[in-house]
Amino acid sequence: MENSRNQKPIEELYHIAESIYGQLESGDIPGMSIPLRTKSNINFMPRKGVWKYGKAKGSRTAKKLRGAYMLLRTMYMLDFIREMIEQSKSSTLREMYYISEGWGLAKFGSQNESNLLAEDMEIITGCMREDFKLRPEEDGARVMGNVTIEETNRKGEKKKINCRDDVGDSGYGIPYNVEKDKIRFIDSDVDFAIAIETGGMFDRLVENGFDEDSRCFLVHLKGQPARSTRRFMKRLNEEMGVPLIVFTDCDPWSFRIFASVAYGAIKTAHISEYLATPTAVYLGITATDILNYDLPTDKLSGQDVKALESELTDPRFKDRFWKDEIELMLKIKKKAEQQALAKYGLDFATDTYLPEKLSQLGLLK
Amino acid sequence: MENSRNQKPIEELYHIAESIYGQLESGDIPGMSIPLRTKSNINFMPRKGVWKYGKAKGSRTAKKLRGAYMLLRTMYMLDFIREMIEQSKSSTLREMYYISEGWGLAKFGSQNESNLLAEDMEIITGCMREDFKLRPEEDGARVMGNVTIEETNRKGEKKKINCRDDVGDSGYGIPYNVEKDKIRFIDSDVDFAIAIETGGMFDRLVENGFDEDSRCFLVHLKGQPARSTRRFMKRLNEEMGVPLIVFTDCDPWSFRIFASVAYGAIKTAHISEYLATPTAVYLGITATDILNYDLPTDKLSGQDVKALESELTDPRFKDRFWKDEIELMLKIKKKAEQQALAKYGLDFATDTYLPEKLSQLGLLK
C-alpha cells in the first residue's frame, strides 16, 4: 500500500543520483538537463484543457562553480527526501531551507532557491512535491458537505470522516497531502460542489444550510487555492463524478483563481494534469450579475483594467462567455464582491441568487 | 439555555434604543455617550494584568447632521442585530456593511465605519461582538490534543468532539463563536497548552506526536490570533486549569503576539478580560536561544529596532525577563524564526529544544 506509492519517487530520485554518479565514473563533467521554465516554453493544451511545458531543455553542469554547487545541493536534497520518505516524515519548504544550514558550502542562499530546486525535482521526475514529503506553510482549506472520506492519520490509523456529520461548523480541514495513501473518497451523496473564494461567503452557505438544501459540497478556496485544495477538488470531480462550480468576486484577480482551478497556473504547469479540473464551470459574480441584480460595486483601478485586458489575450479566457463578460466589465468600469449580495439581506445569496444561477447551469431544477 | 445567553445583548440593545426614544419624547436633542477611545484613555491594570478603558467619555448627538446620521445608523444596526439573534443567524462585518445599502441615507461610507460602530456597541453594552452575531472574515485557528469539547452545531445539535481522536491531521477548527452556548469544555487530559505562531511549526509538532508524548494541547495562532482563538485559550486556561505557553519567532512583532495573548491589545481594550490569559508564559524563541543554540538568524531592520525600543517602554514588557531579552536582541542585532530550529534536523524542536525549555519552566520533568 503505502510502500508502492512511495516506491516511484524513491526510484526517480535514485535515477538522478545514478546518472550523476555514472557521469563522474566515466570521467565526464556531471550535469543534468531540465525543461526550460520560460514563458515561451509553456503551452496551453486545448485538448486536455491545461498548461504544459514544451520540449525546450536547458542543462545544468558542474563546469562552473555555481553549477557544481547546484548539483551538490541537488544530491543533498535527494538524500534528505529519501530519509523523510523512509521515516514517514515531512517537511515544510521553510524547514528544508534551514536544514541546508547543515550542508556546508552547498547551503541555499535563500528560500526561493530551495523552492525552485524542489520544483525542478518535480519536473525531472514527474512526481509531485507531496510525493517528496515537502509542503508549504499554507493552511489547508475547509470543506463541508455530505461526502465521506477515509484519512490515514499520522499514526497510520484509517479514520472515516463524513465532512458534514462528523465535523464542527468550521468543517473538515484538508490536509497538505491528499494523495491516495492519505485520503480515499468513500462515499458522496451530493449533486455538485461549489468552490467559494471568501470565508465570509463559505460561512454564509454553511450557516444557511445550503449544502443540505441543495445537495452540494462546499469548498473554501481561501483566495488563490493551495495545491492540496485543487487536488482535492479534482479527485472529487474525477473519482466521484461531482461537477465543480466556482463562485468568486467579480474581479480580474478572482477570474484568475477560476482559471487556476480549471486550467492550472503557469507556475505549476508541470503538474496541471494533477491539479486542474478542466470541466469546472464559472458561476459568478459576473458583470452581467452586477447589472441584473444592481449590486453595490467599486470602480475598476488602473491595475484592474490592465489585468482584464491581459485576460482578453489569455488562451484560458478565449471563449464567448469570458470575452463578453470581460468586455462588459471594461465598459461599466466596475467590480463587485460576493458579499455585496448581502445588500438584499443575509438569505439572498442562498434563496435567490444561487438558485437562479444554478438553474441556468441546469444544476437545480 | 441559548435564550438566557441571548437575553442580555437584546436587553442591552433595547436600553440604547429606549434612551434615544426617551430623549426624543421629552423633546431633547438625542445623543449617547461612549468612553473615549484615545490612547490616553487606555490604562494597563497591573492587578488584572490587562488593558482597560479609563473614565473619560465623549458624546455623540444629533445636533449636527453627521451625528444624526450616526444615531440613525446605530438604530438600524440595533434592529439588524435583534433580527439576527431572533433568527439564530450571524453576519460577517463585511456583510453588515453591505446590508446598510438598504438603509438609505444612513448607509455606511466604508467598512471601517461599520466596524467601529460595532466596537462602540461592545463598549456601551459590555457585550461582545460575538453576542451580537457579528464576526470577522478570518478563519478560526486549528488545535490538536486530548481535549474533548461539545459543539452546538448550526442545526442546534450537540456534538462531542475529541480534538485529537475525532479529527483528521489538520486538527479541530475553532469556530468564530466559542462562547458557552456554542462550545463547552467536557474533558481535558493534558498538562499544558502551547500556542504556536506558524503553521509550519504547528504541523511539525503534530507530525512528531508532541501532543501525545508531552501530554499537551497544540494551538495554531496563525500570526496575530483571532478573537475566537484568544477566547478559546482563555477558557481552556480558566475552566480546565490548563497552563498556557506561547512559542513564537524571536522578532518584535511576535513579542506583540505574545502580549496580545497574555494582556490584550489596545484595539480590544474594552474586552481584555474576556480575551487575555494573564498567566500565559513566553517560551521562546528568545535572544538567549539564538546564542545558546547558535540558530540561523536575520539582521534586525530599522523598523525592528524601533519596535523593540518602543517595547522597552511598553508596560506589558517591563519585567526583568523581557528587558534583558530585548536589550540582548538590540545588542546582537539579530532575529530568528521558529523553523530555524530545523538547522539541527526535523526532530530537534520536539526532541531537544522544547523539552529543555519546558523543563526550565517546570512543565516537563
Write the single-letter amino acid at A263. Y
For the domain spanning A2-135, the CATH number is 1.10.10.10
Cell 501532543 locates to B211
Residue A338, chain B, CB below 8 Å: the answer is no
Which chain B residues have a beta carbon less than 8 Å from that of A84?
Answer: 346
Which chain B residues have a beta carbon less than 8 Å from that of A346?
Answer: 84, 89, 91, 95, 99
- Catalytic residue ranges of A: 98
| Subunit contact B209:A154, Cβ cutoff 8 A | yes
Averaged pLDDT, A16-40: 84
Report which of residues B338 and B61 the model is more confident about: B338
Write the single-letter amino acid at B58. G
Residue A219, chain B, CB below 8 Å: the answer is no
Q: Where are the beta strands (DSSP E) in A233-324?
A: 244-247, 281-284, 298-299
Reported as type and span, the H/E element at residue B12 is helix B2-25
- According to the per-residue pLDDT averaged within each range, which of A6-20, A326-340, B105-119, B174-188 is highest? A326-340
Residue A159, chain B, CB below 8 Å: the answer is yes
Nearest to A141 by CA among A169, A166, A174: A174
CA angle A265, A267, A272 (to 5 degrees): 50
For residue B96, how many other CB atoms are within 10 A of its CB?
26
Residue B204, chain A, CB below 8 Å: the answer is yes
Give the bridge partners for A192, in sequence order: A216
Report which of residues B39 and B353 the model is more confident about: B353
For residue A255, how many other CB atoms are within 10 A of its CB?
25
pLDDT category, B5, cuts 50, 70, 90? Answer: low
Averaged pLDDT, A110-135: 87
For residues B161 and B155, give the distance between their C-alpha atoms in angstroms, rounded to a whole number: 16
- How many contacts, defined by CB atoms under 8 Å, are there between A and B? 147
pLDDT for position B365: 60
Residue B155, chain A, CB below 8 Å: the answer is yes
| Subunit contact A139:B142, Cβ cutoff 8 A | yes
Distance from CA of A93 to the nearest CA of B (A): 9
Mean pLDDT is lowest, of A157-171, B5-19, B32-46, for: B32-46
For residues A55 and B334, give the distance between their C-alpha atoms in angstroms, rounded to a whole number: 46
- B155: its cell numbers: 442545526
pLDDT category, A3, cuts 50, 70, 90? Answer: very low
Distance from CA of A25 to the nearest CA of B (A): 31
Report which of residues A33 and A277 the model is more confident about: A277
pLDDT category, A137, cuts 50, 70, 90? Answer: confident
pLDDT category, A241, cuts 50, 70, 90? Answer: very high
pLDDT for position B202: 93
pLDDT in tens, B243-254: 999 999 999 999
Mean pLDDT is lowest, of A37-51, A139-153, B29-43, B127-141, for: A37-51
pLDDT for position A292: 96
pLDDT category, A5, cuts 50, 70, 90? Answer: low
pLDDT for position B127: 85
| Subunit contact B95:A135, Cβ cutoff 8 A | no
Cβ(A121)–Cβ(A9) below 8 Å: no
pLDDT for position B2: 44
ipTM: 0.87
Residue A23 pLDDT exceeds 80: yes
Residue A172 pLDDT exceeds 90: yes
Averaged pLDDT, A130-144: 84
Residue A2 pLDDT exceeds 50: no
**How, if at all, do strands A158-162 and A281-284 pair?**
unpaired
Averaged pLDDT, A59-84: 88
Averaged pLDDT, B231-241: 96
Report which of residues A6 and B194 the model is more confident about: B194
pLDDT in tens, B271-313: 888 899 999 999 999 999 999 999 999 999 999 999 999 999 8
Which chain B residues have a beta carbon less than 8 Å from that of A151?
Answer: 168-169
Helix axes B227-240, B252-262, angle to 10 degrees: 50
DSSP for residue B365: -
The shortest CB-CB distance from B92 to any of A151, A154, A339 is to A339
User: How do the domains of chain B map onto residue ranges?
Assistant: 2-135, 142-360
pLDDT in tens, A78-104: 999 998 888 888 888 889 899 898 888
Sign of the alpha-carbon dihedral angle for A337, A338, A341, A345: negative
Query: Percent of chain A scored above 90 by pLDDT?
Result: 51
For residues A337 and A314, give the distance between their C-alpha atoms in angstroms, rounded to a whole number: 23
Averaged pLDDT, B216-231: 92
Distance from CA of A320 to the nearest CA of B (A): 31
A142-360 CATH, one of 3.20.20.140, 3.40.1360.10, 3.40.50.720, 3.30.470.30: 3.40.1360.10
pLDDT in tens, B164-192: 999 999 999 998 889 888 999 999 999 99
pLDDT for position B3: 47
Residues 6+ apart with CB under 8 A from A7: none
For residues B210 and A39, give the distance between their C-alpha atoms in angstroms, rounded to a whole number: 44
Mean pLDDT is lowest, of A283-287, B106-110, B266-270, for: B266-270
- Which residues 19-58 on chain B approach chain A with CB closer than 8 angstroms? none
Mean pLDDT is lowest, of B283-292, B314-323, B352-361, for: B314-323
pLDDT for position A365: 60
Averaged pLDDT, A1-18: 74
pLDDT for position A1: 36
For residues B267 and B128, give the distance between their C-alpha atoms in angstroms, rounded to a whole number: 13
Distance from CA of A28 to the nearest CA of B (A): 34
For residue B276, how many other CB atoms are within 10 A of its CB?
25
| Subunit contact B339:A206, Cβ cutoff 8 A | no
Residue B1 pLDDT exceeds 60: no
Q: What is the pTM of this model?
A: 0.89
For residues B168 and B162, give the distance between their C-alpha atoms in angstroms, rounded to a whole number: 11
Active site annotation includes B21: no
Cell 440613525 locates to B72
Residue A206, chain B, CB below 8 Å: the answer is yes
Give the bridge partners for B142, in sequence order: B173
pLDDT for position B209: 95
Residue B222, chain A, CB below 8 Å: the answer is yes
The shortest CB-CB distance from A95 to any of B91, B174, B346 is to B346
- According to the per-residue pLDDT averaged within each range, which of A343-347, A352-356, B46-50 is highest? A352-356
Give me chain B's average pLDDT, please.
Answer: 89
Which chain B residues have a beta carbon less than 8 Å from that of A345?
Answer: 99, 102
| Subunit contact B203:A94, Cβ cutoff 8 A | no
pLDDT in tens, A190-207: 999 999 999 889 999 999
Residue A250, chain B, CB below 8 Å: the answer is no
**How, if at all, do strands B50-53 and B42-45 pair?**
antiparallel
Which chain A residues have a beta carbon less than 8 Å from that of B206?
Answer: 154
Write the single-letter amino acid at B95. E
Among A83, A98, A185, the strongest candidate for a mutation testing the B interface, having the largest count of B CBs within 10 A, is A98
Nearest to B332 by CA among B363, B280, B295: B295
pLDDT category, B6, cuts 50, 70, 90? Answer: low
Radius of gyration of chain A, Cα coordinates, nearest whole angstrom: 23
Give me chain A's average pLDDT, please.
Answer: 89
- B93: its cell numbers: 462585518
Averaged pLDDT, A160-188: 93
The shortest CB-CB distance from A173 to any of B96, B151, B170 is to B170
Which chain A residues have a beta carbon less than 8 Å from that of B94?
Answer: 200, 337, 339, 342
For residues B246 and B280, give the distance between their C-alpha atoms in angstroms, rounded to a whole number: 7
Which chain A residues have a beta carbon less than 8 Å from that of B102?
Answer: 343-345
Residue A181, chain B, CB below 8 Å: the answer is no
The shortest CB-CB distance from B142 to any of A159, A173, A340 is to A173
For residue B308, how many other CB atoms are within 10 A of its CB?
21
pLDDT for position A289: 97
The shortest CB-CB distance from A98 to any of B92, B138, B339 is to B339
DSSP one-letter string for A172-216: EEPPS--STTTEEEEEE--SEEEEES-HHHHHHHHHTTHHHHTTE
